[in-house]
Amino acid sequence: MKRLPAAKRREQLLDCALELFARVGYARATTAQLAKMAGVTEPIIYRHFDSKRDLFVALITRTAKRTLQHWEDRLADAADPPERLRRILADNPMTHQGREAYRVLMQAITEVDDAEVQKAVARHFFELHKFITKELAAAQEERKLARVFSAELIAWVLIDIGLGYGVLEALRVPNQGEDRRGRSVRDVLDRMLVRRGPKRKGRAS
């Protein structure tokens, strides 16, 4: 068994748990299976996590941090509020870089009676909501986004739609979220949310 620094071992266990939960489900996975996958003994797992639940909560927390960091990176070279919104709309973590992690997170639906899991899930989405709200508020401040509804409410609408879209994709519903012409839910949101300036009149030909 290769000895790793504590921080690296913790990340390795989280990576293995993510793969294991995605394959067999959180409820059916065991710490013995995780130990075998990670190439460690079970006591090593319990040095880093108090329980399988504690490991699951840590995964939920890490997923939020990675999503926010990914969005920060994607927006680093975009100053225009509409462009920033478009990038967020185009980067649903449930269907892009974080799809496996979010499919594992969705397993928390069967664990919501566990107070610690429920709190972790709520904290996860409140952090994402805070990030999106900030971007929407900035767009409203520059009059690039209508103020009919608050940035807080629009952020929840985007999260609700993103979750629904992600779940349907995970369920492999074919052609969901788009029409026969190839227009998508993202196109609808972009059209509804982002204000456009008046069209310039071209010269008559």
Q: Are 194 and 85 in contact (CB under 8 A)?
A: yes
Mean pLDDT of all residues belonging to the chain = 89
% residues pLDDT > 90 (the chain):
62
Would the CATH topology of 1-49 be identical to that of 53-193?
no
Mean of pLDDT values over 52-76: 95
Residue 184 DSSP one-character state? B
pLDDT exceeds cutoff 70 at 76: yes
Residue-wise pLDDT tens digits, 154-170: 999 999 999 998 889 88
Global pTM value: 0.86
Higher pLDDT, 182 or 73: 73
Q: Are 177 and 185 in contact (CB under 8 A)?
A: yes
In the chain the first and final C-alpha atoms are separated, in Å, by 76
Mean of pLDDT values over 121-150: 94
Residues 6+ apart with CB under 8 A from 4: 12
pLDDT at 203: 43
Residue-wise pLDDT tens digits, 25-63: 999 999 999 999 999 999 999 999 999 999 999 999 999
Class of domain 1-49: mainly alpha
Residue-wise pLDDT tens digits, 85-104: 989 988 888 887 778 999 99
pLDDT exceeds cutoff 80 at 196: no
CATH architecture of 53-193: Orthogonal Bundle (1.10)
* CA atoms within a 13 Å half-sphere pointing along the CA-CB vector of 145: 25
pLDDT at 205: 34
Domain map (residue ranges) of the chain: 1-49, 53-193
Residue 96 DSSP one-character state? T
pLDDT at 56: 96
φ, ψ dihedrals at 92, nearest 5°:
-65, 115
**What are the C-alpha distances in Å from 191 to residues 76, 157, 180, 183, 187?**
23, 15, 18, 11, 6
